């Protein structure tokens, strides 16, 4: 009997506990509504990642065509970019050129590691603001001729003239000045002489009668105007930049830029042929004189020694005309007078 009472007592306790548990977990009445949340601000619209690229990288394939032309040019194929030491790299390497137009120095601070040949990034401001202005030229500032100190302005051609000019032979002979000593066979103006001939400044101007072609005053952007005309296939023009092609002894010439002034093609062809024949003849005459006088060897290098200003100057003028390679087309009157007066000075 006592056991039965004990069991009933336990059951009663369990019932009371379960009732209390249920009453504790039962949801009470709803509280007051909360405040409305504040809407967030709209985010900034993202930019189209390819929109700026398409300003240049469109489907016209122009970039591919210009790249192909450049690949056929001497800038790409000449191997001169391997001359990467500090006194050469400013013009022979892409990185060096960008350095010297920034610093204004003739030479780079050091040799250029991993040199590149002149390319798109050399002459154009590629990927600066990712617009068509990226094709703007790296420099158009007037240039100071290293050989003479003359400041010349070739328009957009200043880009080209920055490098297509000779070094000072060290020293440059002065008309009526002291004798000059050539200490080795490489004495003289260094190769690319176009800026001197095109501007009509910087030669050894012995004698008188120096004048310039109308090209000097009439062609505002000089090199760019004539050499970057529409290409003729893979022969000349465009970013190949050459105008002569074919047989080196009797080359064809792309005259697209010339015909805006020289409107009769037959007359123009005759004029070009006559000018080149005359200048080549005078250059050959000066070449012979320099060799007869023991000033120049068979490889057209100077023979080390001490020479009068006129003798050294005649050698300089021979080099300028030879390395200009236009044979009077760039600046016929100035070229002719440099040669004629040099020949006279050696008599």
How many angstroms separate the CA atoms of 146 and 89, rounded? Answer: 16
pLDDT at residue number 4? 53
pLDDT at residue number 283? 98
How many angstroms separate the CA atoms of 191 and 323, rounded? Answer: 5
pLDDT at residue number 9? 57
| Residue 273 in tokens | 């042929």
How many angstroms separate the CA atoms of 327 and 87, rounded? Answer: 28
pLDDT at residue number 12? 59
Q: Is the pLDDT confidence value at 21 over 70?
A: no
pLDDT at residue number 37? 63
Tell me the average pLDDT of the chain: 90
Q: Among candidates 77, 335, 84, which has minimal Cα distance to 196?
A: 335
Phi, psi of 218 (to 5 degrees): -90, -25
Q: Which of 96-100, 129-133, 149-153 has the lowest mean pLDDT?
A: 129-133
| Residue 207 in tokens | 């004698």
Specify the 3-state DSSP secondary structure of 244: strand
Q: How many CB atoms lie within 10 A of CB 107?
A: 16
**Span 242-254, mean pLDDT?**
93
User: What percentage of the chain exceeds 90 in pLDDT?
Assistant: 77
Phi, psi of 339 (to 5 degrees): -75, -50
Helix axes 265-292, 332-346, angle to 10 degrees: 20
**Span 82-107, mean pLDDT?**
96
How many angstroms separate the CA atoms of 327 and 275, rounded? Answer: 7
CA torsion sign, 71 to 166 to 200 to 244?
negative
pLDDT at residue number 33? 67
Tens-place pLDDT, residues 45-87? 766 667 788 888 888 999 999 999 999 999 999 888 999 999 9
Tens-place pLDDT, residues 160-210? 999 999 999 999 999 999 999 999 999 999 889 999 999 999 999 999 999
Our CA angle for 29, 31, 36, nearest 5°, is 150
pLDDT at residue number 49? 66
pLDDT at residue number 44? 74
Residue with tokens 């004029």: 271
Q: Is the pLDDT confidence value at 7 over 90?
A: no
Q: Is the pLDDT confidence value at 8 over 70?
A: no
Query: Residue 42 — very low, low, confident or very high, per pLDDT cuts 50/70/90?
Result: confident
Q: Which of 19-33, 124-138, 300-314, 315-329 has the lowest mean pLDDT?
A: 19-33
**Span 6-13, mean pLDDT?**
57
Tens-place pLDDT, residues 276-332? 999 999 999 999 999 999 999 999 999 999 999 999 999 999 999 999 999 999 999
Q: Are 301 and 185 in contact (CB under 8 A)?
A: yes
pLDDT at residue number 28? 62
**Span 241-253, mean pLDDT?**
93
**Span 238-261, mean pLDDT?**
94
Burial string for 19-36 (b: 16+ CB within 10 Å, else e) reads: eeeeeeeeeeeeeeeeee
Phi, psi of 86 (to 5 degrees): -60, -30
Q: Is the pLDDT confidence value at 2 over 90?
A: no
How many angstroms separate the CA atoms of 278 and 177, rounded? Answer: 30
Note the residue count of the chain. 347
β-pairing verdict for 180-182 and 143-144: unpaired
How many angstroms separate the CA atoms of 32 and 4, rounded? Answer: 51
Q: Is the pLDDT confidence value at 23 over 80?
A: no
**Structure-model confidence comparison of residues 150 and 26, the more confident one:** 150
Residue with tokens 């040949």: 117
Residue 300, classified by CB atoms within 10 Å of its CB into exposed (0-12), middle (13-18) or buried (19+), is middle
pLDDT at residue number 52? 80
């Amino acid at each position: 009997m006592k056991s039965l009472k004990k069991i009933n007592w336990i059951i009663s306790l369990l019932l009371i506990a379960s009732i209390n548990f249920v009453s504790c977990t039962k949801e009470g009445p709803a509280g007051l509504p909360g405040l409305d949340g504040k809407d967030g601000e709209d985010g900034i619209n993202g930019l189209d990642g390819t929109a700026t690229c398409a300003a240049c990288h469109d489907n016209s394939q122009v970039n591919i065509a210009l790249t192909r032309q450049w690949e056929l040019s001497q800038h790409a194929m000449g191997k001169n970019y391997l001359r990467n030491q500090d006194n050469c790299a400013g013009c022979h390497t892409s990185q060096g050129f960008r350095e010297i137009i920034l610093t204004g120095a003739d030479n780079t601070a050091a040799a250029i590691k991993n040199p590149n040949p002149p390319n798109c990034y050399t002459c154009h401001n590629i990927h600066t603001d990712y617009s068509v202005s990226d094709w703007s030229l790296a420099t158009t500032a007037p240039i100071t001729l290293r050989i003479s100190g003359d400041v010349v302005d070739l328009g957009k051609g200043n880009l080209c003239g920055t490098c297509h000019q000779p070094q000072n032979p060290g020293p440059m002979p002065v008309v009526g000045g002291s004798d000059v000593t050539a200490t080795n066979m490489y004495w003289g103006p260094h190769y690319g002489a176009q800026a001197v001939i095109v501007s009509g400044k910087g030669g050894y101007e012995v004698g008188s009668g120096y004048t310039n072609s109308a090209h000097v005053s009439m062609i505002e952007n000089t090199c760019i105007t004539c050499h970057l005309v529409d290409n003729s296939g893979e022969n000349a023009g465009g970013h190949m930049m050459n105008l002569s092609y074919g047989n080196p002894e009797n080359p064809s010439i792309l005259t697209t830029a010339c015909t805006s002034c020289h409107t009769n093609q037959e007359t123009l062809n005759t004029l070009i042929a006559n000018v080149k024949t005359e200048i080549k003849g005078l250059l050959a005459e000066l070449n012979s004189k320099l060799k007869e006088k023991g000033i120049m060897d068979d490889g057209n290098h100077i023979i080390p020694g001490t020479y009068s200003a006129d003798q050294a100057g005649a050698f300089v003028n021979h080099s300028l005309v030879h390395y200009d390679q236009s044979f009077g087309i760039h600046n016929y009157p100035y070229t002719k007078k440099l040669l004629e007066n040099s020949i006279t000075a050696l008599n």
